[in-house]
Amino acid sequence: MKEEIFVYFIGTAGSGKSTLTYNFKRWMELRSLDAIAVNLDPGAENLPYEPDVDIRDWISLKEIMETYELGPNGAQIACADMLALNTEDVKKSIESFKTDYVLIDTPGQLELFVFREAGKYIVKFLNPQRSIIAYILDYALAKNASGLVSQLLLSLNTNFRLNQPQINILSKADMLTEQEHKQLEKWSDDPDVLYSAIQQEDASIYREMSEGILNLIQNFKSHAELILTSKEDFKGIEDLYTAIQLQFEGGEDLMKD
C-alpha cells in the first residue's frame, strides 16, 4: 500500500498558505488525483477551502482566550502548544481518508509552528519519511534583493528546525509587475545575479548583512531557486507537483492517462 505524502505549507502571516493549499487541492481534483486539506490553525477564519480535517474541531482560539483569560497572542501560543496533544486524533482522521496527498495549512504566524517544539513533534509523529515543506515567501517582501535574502534566511531556519526536504515558493506572483516578475526569475535562476543586485544597493550594514546571509545560504547548499505561483490561477502548481513527485516517487507521475 502506497503511503500518503504530507505537504506542509509554511510561511509568514499573509504569505498565501491557505490560498496555495486551496489551489493545489483544486488542481489535483481536476486531474483526478486524491488529496485532502488539513487546517492546523485554531484561529483561522474565512478559509478559502473546506478542511477535510480541522484542528478547530478540537481546539478553539476563542475558547482558550475565554477559559484562561488570555489575549490573542497568549492564546495563540497556548493553542500552538496544545496542537501536539491532539496529534493522535488528527492522524486517525487523516488515515481514515486513505488519500495520496495530505495538504497541511499551518498556523498563520510562522513562529508558532516552526520555532515551538509542537511543530517539530507533529511532523515527526505523522510521517517524517513522507513529509516535505512547501515554504512560501511573500511577494511583497521579495521585490528588492535584500528583502528576498531576509526571507530566504527564514526559509533556511525552517529547514534547520524541521529537518525535512523543502521547496521554496513565491506566492501571488500575479501581483508583481512584468519587470518585477522577470527580475525575480533572474534572481531565482542565478544566485550570482542576486548577489550583484545586493551589491548595487546603497552601502549600509544592512547590505553587508544581506551579502553574508546569501553566502551562508549557498554554503549550506541551499539557494534562491523559487517556484512562482499565482493567487488567481494554477501558475506554478504543476512545477510544485513535479518537484514533490521527484522527491518521493523518483519522478513517477500519479496522474491518470
H runs (alpha helix) in the chain: 17-30, 61-68, 72-82, 87-95, 110-114, 117-126, 145-162, 178-189, 191-199, 205-219, 237-249
Which pLDDT band holds residue 255 (cuts at 50, 70, 90)? low
Task: For residues 65 and 1, give the distance between their C-alpha atoms in angstroms, rounded to a whole number.
Answer: 43
| Res 256 pLDDT > 60 | no
Q: Contact at 8 Å (CB) between 133 and 162?
A: yes
Q: What is the average per-residue pLDDT within 134-139? A: 95
Strands 101-105 and 35-39, bridge-based pairing: parallel
| Res 94 pLDDT > 70 | yes
Domain ranges of the chain: 5-143+163-178+227-249
| Res 206 pLDDT > 90 | no
User: Between 14 and 256, whose confidence is greater?
Assistant: 14
Its CATH architecture, for the domain 5-143+163-178+227-249, is: 3-Layer(aba) Sandwich (3.40)
Task: For residues 70 and 62, give the distance between their C-alpha atoms in angstroms, rounded to a whole number.
Answer: 10
| Res 55 pLDDT > 90 | yes
Which pLDDT band holds residue 126 (cuts at 50, 70, 90)? very high
3-state class (DSSP) for residue 38? strand
Q: Contact at 8 Å (CB) between 67 and 78?
A: no
Q: Contact at 8 Å (CB) between 37 and 21?
A: yes
Q: What angle do CA 157, 163, 168 make, to 5 degrees?
A: 60
Burial class (CB in 10 A: 0-12, 13-18, 19+), 216: middle
Q: What is the average per-residue pLDDT within 74-89? A: 92
| Res 224 pLDDT > 80 | no
The DSSP annotation for 39-76 comes to E--TT--S-SS--SEEGGGT--HHHHHHHHT--HHHHH
pLDDT in tens, 11-54: 999 999 999 999 999 999 999 999 999 999 999 989 999 999 99
In the prediction, which pLDDT does 231 show? Answer: 85
Lowest-confidence pick of 159-168, 173-182, 200-209, 210-219 = 210-219
Q: Contact at 8 Å (CB) between 246 and 25?
A: no
In the prediction, which pLDDT does 72 show? Answer: 86
Q: Contact at 8 Å (CB) between 192 and 217?
A: no
Dihedral sign for Cα 96, 98, 103, 106, please: positive
Identify the DSSP state of 4. P
Lowest-confidence pick of 31-40, 83-92, 175-184, 248-257 = 248-257
Q: What is the average per-residue pLDDT within 231-257? A: 82
Which pLDDT band holds residue 253 (cuts at 50, 70, 90)? low
